[in-house]
Amino acid sequence: MKFIRLLRISSIQSYKILFYIYKMIKISILGAGNVGSHLFNKFFETKNIQVIQWYNRSIKSIEHHKNKVNIIDKIENLIEVDIYLLCLSDDSLASIIPQIQTLKGIVAHTAGSVPMNILNGIKNHGVFYPLQTFSKNSPISFTNIPICIEGNNKHSIKILTSLAQNISKNIKHIDSKQRQGLHIAAVFVNNFTNHLYQIGGEICEELNVSFDLLIPLIQETAKKIETTSPDKAQTGPAIRNDQNTIQNHMDLLSIPTFKDLYLTLTHSIQKNNEHSKL
Protein backbone atom coordinates (compact mmCIF):
# COMPACT_ATOMS: atom_id res chain seq x y z
CA MET A 1 0.00 0.00 0.00
CA LYS A 2 2.75 2.37 1.06
CA PHE A 3 4.69 1.39 -2.04
CA ILE A 4 1.73 2.08 -4.34
CA ARG A 5 1.19 5.47 -2.72
CA LEU A 6 4.84 6.29 -3.27
CA LEU A 7 4.57 5.18 -6.87
CA ARG A 8 1.50 7.36 -7.37
CA ILE A 9 3.19 10.42 -5.96
CA SER A 10 6.22 9.71 -8.01
CA SER A 11 4.21 9.35 -11.25
CA ILE A 12 2.39 12.60 -10.58
CA GLN A 13 5.73 14.24 -9.98
CA SER A 14 7.23 12.79 -13.16
CA TYR A 15 4.23 14.06 -15.07
CA LYS A 16 4.74 17.47 -13.56
CA ILE A 17 8.44 17.40 -14.38
CA LEU A 18 7.73 16.33 -17.97
CA PHE A 19 5.09 19.04 -18.23
CA TYR A 20 7.53 21.69 -17.07
CA ILE A 21 10.31 20.42 -19.32
CA TYR A 22 7.89 20.64 -22.21
CA LYS A 23 6.79 24.19 -21.37
CA MET A 24 10.15 25.43 -20.11
CA ILE A 25 11.86 27.96 -22.38
CA LYS A 26 15.63 27.91 -22.25
CA ILE A 27 17.28 31.26 -22.87
CA SER A 28 20.68 32.89 -22.77
CA ILE A 29 21.24 36.59 -22.29
CA LEU A 30 24.03 38.51 -24.02
CA GLY A 31 24.88 41.79 -22.34
CA ALA A 32 24.68 43.05 -18.77
CA GLY A 33 23.66 46.67 -19.13
CA ASN A 34 20.38 47.98 -17.72
CA VAL A 35 18.13 45.96 -20.05
CA GLY A 36 20.18 42.76 -19.74
CA SER A 37 20.36 42.96 -15.95
CA HIS A 38 16.64 43.65 -15.48
CA LEU A 39 15.71 40.85 -17.90
CA PHE A 40 18.09 38.43 -16.19
CA ASN A 41 16.58 39.17 -12.77
CA LYS A 42 13.04 38.83 -14.08
CA PHE A 43 13.60 35.65 -16.09
CA PHE A 44 15.61 34.07 -13.28
CA GLU A 45 12.59 34.30 -10.97
CA THR A 46 10.08 33.23 -13.66
CA LYS A 47 8.84 29.62 -13.30
CA ASN A 48 8.72 28.52 -16.92
CA ILE A 49 11.95 30.15 -18.01
CA GLN A 50 15.41 28.77 -17.48
CA VAL A 51 18.35 31.13 -17.97
CA ILE A 52 21.15 28.84 -19.14
CA GLN A 53 23.99 31.28 -19.84
CA TRP A 54 24.75 34.95 -19.37
CA TYR A 55 27.43 36.42 -21.63
CA ASN A 56 29.18 39.72 -21.01
CA ARG A 57 32.38 41.11 -22.52
CA SER A 58 33.56 41.95 -19.02
CA ILE A 59 32.80 38.96 -16.81
CA LYS A 60 33.51 40.96 -13.64
CA SER A 61 30.21 42.78 -13.65
CA ILE A 62 28.18 39.54 -13.59
CA GLU A 63 30.54 37.41 -11.52
CA HIS A 64 28.35 37.67 -8.42
CA HIS A 65 25.63 35.73 -10.30
CA LYS A 66 27.81 32.70 -10.99
CA ASN A 67 25.87 30.54 -8.54
CA LYS A 68 22.64 31.18 -10.44
CA VAL A 69 23.75 30.90 -14.06
CA ASN A 70 26.69 29.85 -16.23
CA ILE A 71 28.52 33.13 -16.83
CA ILE A 72 30.76 33.45 -19.91
CA ASP A 73 32.81 36.10 -21.69
CA LYS A 74 33.47 34.19 -24.93
CA ILE A 75 30.85 33.94 -27.68
CA GLU A 76 32.22 30.54 -28.75
CA ASN A 77 31.22 29.11 -25.36
CA LEU A 78 27.50 29.65 -26.03
CA ILE A 79 25.57 26.35 -25.98
CA GLU A 80 22.26 25.60 -27.71
CA VAL A 81 19.12 27.17 -26.17
CA ASP A 82 15.68 28.22 -27.46
CA ILE A 83 16.35 31.96 -27.47
CA TYR A 84 19.43 34.17 -27.36
CA LEU A 85 18.48 37.67 -26.19
CA LEU A 86 20.90 40.35 -27.37
CA CYS A 87 20.82 43.15 -24.78
CA LEU A 88 23.71 45.10 -26.25
CA SER A 89 24.50 48.63 -27.29
CA ASP A 90 24.06 49.30 -31.02
CA ASP A 91 27.86 49.20 -31.52
CA SER A 92 28.37 45.89 -29.66
CA LEU A 93 25.39 44.47 -31.54
CA ALA A 94 27.04 45.22 -34.89
CA SER A 95 30.33 43.65 -33.83
CA ILE A 96 28.80 40.48 -32.33
CA ILE A 97 26.36 39.58 -35.12
CA PRO A 98 29.03 38.12 -37.48
CA GLN A 99 30.09 35.75 -34.67
CA ILE A 100 26.63 34.28 -34.04
CA GLN A 101 25.44 33.50 -37.56
CA THR A 102 25.31 29.73 -37.01
CA LEU A 103 23.39 29.65 -33.71
CA LYS A 104 20.48 27.21 -33.87
CA GLY A 105 18.07 28.94 -31.46
CA ILE A 106 16.15 32.12 -32.12
CA VAL A 107 18.36 35.19 -31.92
CA ALA A 108 16.44 38.32 -30.88
CA HIS A 109 17.71 41.81 -30.22
CA THR A 110 16.06 44.17 -27.73
CA ALA A 111 16.80 47.56 -29.35
CA GLY A 112 14.08 50.02 -30.28
CA SER A 113 15.90 51.74 -33.10
CA VAL A 114 17.51 48.76 -34.86
CA PRO A 115 15.57 47.07 -37.69
CA MET A 116 15.10 43.29 -37.51
CA ASN A 117 16.90 42.69 -40.80
CA ILE A 118 20.25 43.34 -39.15
CA LEU A 119 19.90 39.65 -38.09
CA ASN A 120 19.07 38.42 -41.61
CA GLY A 121 21.94 35.92 -41.82
CA ILE A 122 20.58 33.95 -38.85
CA LYS A 123 17.97 31.24 -39.61
CA ASN A 124 15.50 32.09 -36.81
CA HIS A 125 15.54 35.62 -35.54
CA GLY A 126 13.41 38.45 -34.25
CA VAL A 127 13.01 41.36 -31.86
CA PHE A 128 11.99 41.40 -28.21
CA TYR A 129 11.62 45.10 -27.34
CA PRO A 130 10.37 46.04 -23.86
CA LEU A 131 9.07 49.62 -24.19
CA GLN A 132 10.31 50.91 -20.86
CA THR A 133 13.17 52.82 -19.25
CA PHE A 134 15.47 50.73 -17.12
CA SER A 135 17.87 52.04 -14.48
CA LYS A 136 20.25 49.69 -12.75
CA ASN A 137 19.06 50.43 -9.22
CA SER A 138 15.32 50.94 -9.73
CA PRO A 139 13.34 47.70 -9.42
CA ILE A 140 10.59 47.47 -12.01
CA SER A 141 7.34 45.56 -12.41
CA PHE A 142 7.13 43.91 -15.83
CA THR A 143 3.40 43.04 -15.72
CA ASN A 144 2.24 46.08 -17.69
CA ILE A 145 5.34 46.82 -19.76
CA PRO A 146 4.47 46.58 -23.46
CA ILE A 147 6.70 43.96 -25.08
CA CYS A 148 6.93 44.54 -28.82
CA ILE A 149 7.56 41.32 -30.75
CA GLU A 150 8.71 40.80 -34.31
CA GLY A 151 9.98 37.56 -35.89
CA ASN A 152 11.26 36.38 -39.29
CA ASN A 153 8.92 33.36 -39.30
CA LYS A 154 5.94 31.87 -37.44
CA HIS A 155 8.17 29.77 -35.18
CA SER A 156 10.24 32.76 -34.05
CA ILE A 157 7.12 34.85 -33.42
CA LYS A 158 5.45 32.03 -31.46
CA ILE A 159 8.39 31.29 -29.16
CA LEU A 160 9.25 34.98 -28.58
CA THR A 161 5.57 35.70 -27.82
CA SER A 162 5.49 32.82 -25.38
CA LEU A 163 8.63 34.17 -23.66
CA ALA A 164 7.04 37.63 -23.39
CA GLN A 165 3.76 36.23 -22.02
CA ASN A 166 5.64 34.75 -19.11
CA ILE A 167 6.59 38.21 -17.81
CA SER A 168 3.97 40.64 -19.15
CA LYS A 169 0.30 40.74 -20.06
CA ASN A 170 0.89 43.53 -22.59
CA ILE A 171 2.29 41.94 -25.78
CA LYS A 172 2.21 43.71 -29.16
CA HIS A 173 3.22 42.45 -32.58
CA ILE A 174 4.72 45.37 -34.45
CA ASP A 175 7.05 45.69 -37.41
CA SER A 176 10.47 47.38 -37.58
CA LYS A 177 9.09 50.65 -38.99
CA GLN A 178 6.53 50.93 -36.18
CA ARG A 179 9.15 50.05 -33.58
CA GLN A 180 11.55 52.70 -34.88
CA GLY A 181 8.75 55.27 -34.71
CA LEU A 182 7.83 54.14 -31.20
CA HIS A 183 11.45 54.59 -30.23
CA ILE A 184 11.32 58.23 -31.39
CA ALA A 185 8.07 58.70 -29.44
CA ALA A 186 9.83 57.17 -26.42
CA VAL A 187 12.68 59.67 -26.78
CA PHE A 188 10.10 62.49 -26.61
CA VAL A 189 8.08 61.17 -23.65
CA ASN A 190 11.00 59.77 -21.68
CA ASN A 191 14.41 61.33 -22.50
CA PHE A 192 13.12 64.78 -23.37
CA THR A 193 10.55 64.81 -20.56
CA ASN A 194 13.25 63.88 -18.07
CA HIS A 195 15.29 66.81 -19.38
CA LEU A 196 12.35 69.12 -18.67
CA TYR A 197 12.29 67.72 -15.10
CA GLN A 198 16.00 68.53 -14.92
CA ILE A 199 15.35 72.13 -15.99
CA GLY A 200 12.58 72.34 -13.36
CA GLY A 201 15.13 71.09 -10.83
CA GLU A 202 17.71 73.69 -11.84
CA ILE A 203 15.17 76.50 -11.56
CA CYS A 204 14.28 75.26 -8.05
CA GLU A 205 17.94 75.15 -7.09
CA GLU A 206 18.43 78.73 -8.24
CA LEU A 207 15.38 79.79 -6.17
CA ASN A 208 16.56 77.85 -3.15
CA VAL A 209 13.37 75.79 -2.98
CA SER A 210 13.23 71.99 -2.95
CA PHE A 211 12.68 70.05 -6.19
CA ASP A 212 10.27 67.88 -4.17
CA LEU A 213 7.73 70.69 -4.55
CA LEU A 214 7.39 69.75 -8.24
CA ILE A 215 6.96 65.99 -7.75
CA PRO A 216 3.17 65.93 -7.14
CA LEU A 217 2.68 68.09 -10.25
CA ILE A 218 4.95 65.87 -12.36
CA GLN A 219 3.13 62.75 -11.23
CA GLU A 220 -0.34 64.21 -11.74
CA THR A 221 0.67 65.28 -15.28
CA ALA A 222 1.71 61.69 -16.03
CA LYS A 223 -1.39 60.22 -14.34
CA LYS A 224 -3.84 62.49 -16.14
CA ILE A 225 -3.16 60.96 -19.55
CA GLU A 226 -4.74 57.70 -18.38
CA THR A 227 -8.11 59.42 -18.61
CA THR A 228 -7.51 62.59 -20.67
CA SER A 229 -5.75 62.71 -24.03
CA PRO A 230 -2.70 65.05 -24.02
CA ASP A 231 -4.30 67.49 -26.47
CA LYS A 232 -7.28 67.91 -24.11
CA ALA A 233 -5.00 68.13 -21.06
CA GLN A 234 -2.89 70.97 -22.49
CA THR A 235 -3.00 74.09 -20.27
CA GLY A 236 -0.69 77.04 -19.61
CA PRO A 237 0.35 80.39 -21.11
CA ALA A 238 1.32 78.94 -24.54
CA ILE A 239 -2.06 77.46 -25.39
CA ARG A 240 -3.89 80.46 -23.92
CA ASN A 241 -1.54 82.67 -25.95
CA ASP A 242 -1.03 84.68 -22.74
CA GLN A 243 1.66 87.04 -24.05
CA ASN A 244 2.10 88.88 -20.72
CA THR A 245 3.05 85.71 -18.85
CA ILE A 246 5.21 84.43 -21.73
CA GLN A 247 7.12 87.73 -21.82
CA ASN A 248 7.42 87.76 -18.05
CA HIS A 249 8.85 84.20 -18.11
CA MET A 250 11.29 85.12 -20.86
CA ASP A 251 12.51 88.09 -18.80
CA LEU A 252 12.98 85.91 -15.72
CA LEU A 253 14.79 83.01 -17.43
CA SER A 254 18.53 83.69 -17.45
CA ILE A 255 20.09 80.63 -19.16
CA PRO A 256 20.06 81.03 -22.99
CA THR A 257 19.34 77.33 -23.77
CA PHE A 258 16.33 77.41 -21.40
CA LYS A 259 15.05 80.57 -23.13
CA ASP A 260 15.48 78.83 -26.49
CA LEU A 261 13.61 75.77 -25.29
CA TYR A 262 10.83 77.86 -23.75
CA LEU A 263 10.23 79.65 -27.06
CA THR A 264 10.55 76.53 -29.24
CA LEU A 265 8.10 74.59 -27.05
CA THR A 266 5.69 77.52 -26.81
CA HIS A 267 5.81 77.90 -30.59
CA SER A 268 5.26 74.16 -31.09
CA ILE A 269 2.24 74.12 -28.73
CA GLN A 270 0.70 77.07 -30.57
CA LYS A 271 1.45 75.59 -34.01
CA ASN A 272 -0.03 72.23 -32.99
CA ASN A 273 -3.14 73.85 -31.66
CA GLU A 274 -3.65 75.85 -34.86
CA HIS A 275 -3.23 72.63 -36.77
CA SER A 276 -5.80 70.75 -34.66
CA LYS A 277 -8.28 73.59 -35.16
CA LEU A 278 -8.13 73.21 -38.95
- For a second copy, the closer of residues 30 and 35 by Cβ is 35
Q: Which is nearer to a second copy, 157 or 203 (CB)?
A: 203
Between residue 166 and residue 225, which ones bind a second copy under the rule CB under 8 A?
170, 172, 174, 177-178, 180-201, 203-204, 206-209, 211, 213-225
Residues 226-245 that bind a second copy (CB under 8 A): 226-231, 233-239, 242, 244-245
- The smaller minimum CB distance to a second copy, of residues 7 and 213, is found at 213
In the complex, what is the shortest distance from the CB of residue 131 to a second copy, in angstroms, rounded to a whole number?
Answer: 6
Residue number with CB closer to a second copy (46 or 221): 221
Residues 92-111 that bind a second copy (CB under 8 A): none
Q: Can you tell me which of 145, 160, 163, 167 binds a second copy, judged by CB under 8 A?
A: 145
Question: Rule CB under 8 A: which of 41-80 touch a second copy?
Answer: none
Q: Between 26 and 115, name the residue whose CB sits nearer to a second copy.
A: 115
Reading phi first (left if > 0) and then psi (alpha if -120 to 50, else beta), residue 141 is in: beta
SS3 category, 210: coil
Type of residue at 165: Q
Note whether 252 binds a second copy by CB under 8 A. yes
Tell me if 157 contacts a second copy by CB under 8 A: no
Please tell me whether residue 151 adopts helix, strand or coil conformation: strand
Q: Which is nearer to a second copy, 25 or 246 (CB)?
A: 246
CB 98 within 8 A of CB 130: no
Residue 267, interface with a second copy (CB under 8 A)?
Answer: yes
Q: Any residues with CB less than 8 A from the CB of 232 and at least 6 apart, and which?
A: none
Strand partners, 126: 108, 151
58: buried, middle or exposed (CB in 10 Å: 19+, 13-18, 0-12)?
exposed
**Binding-site size, a second copy (CB under 8 A):** 92
Cβ distance 55 to 31 under 8 Å?
Answer: yes
Could you count the other beta carbons within 10 Å of the beta carbon of residue 29?
27
Nearest to 151 by CA among 184, 181, 179: 179
